[in-house]
Amino acid sequence: MAGELYPCYEGKPVIPDYKRGVLSELEEEGLNLDDVVEILETGFDCSASKRDRAILERCVQRKNRIIKVVVEEGEEYWGLRHVGSFKLKRKEIRRRMRT
């Protein structure tokens, strides 16, 4: 049933963690759950540090911003834990364009 209400990633629905205020983060970034699934599918791994195996961090670059999505895998669903973005500095933009 949850798969009908929420978009799915790898066959499991992506459900926001309401206790963490993820819905307001989505709203601030101008994203919805379909955008989150798209980032999970097409984004690059952007883990800043070693995480638990069940936690997945994916990012996409849109112009001079990096948008990050953090989800945690449960048995029957992906729990959306965090959505955020940050600006790239000019040096970082040039470096990323070279690679």
What is the pLDDT, as a whole number, of residue 63? Answer: 85
What is the pLDDT, as a whole number, of residue 50? Answer: 75
Question: How far is the C-alpha of 3 from the C-alpha of 29, rounded, in Å?
Answer: 24
Q: Do the bridges between strand 78-87 and strand 65-73 make them parallel or antiparallel, or are there none, so unpaired?
A: antiparallel
State the 10-residue block means of pLDDT for the chain, 99 residues long: 78 92 93 96 87 89 92 95 87 55
What is the pLDDT, as a whole number, of residue 72? Answer: 95
In order of start, what are the domains of the chain with their CATH numbers? 2-98 (3.30.2310)
What is the pLDDT, as a whole number, of residue 81? Answer: 95
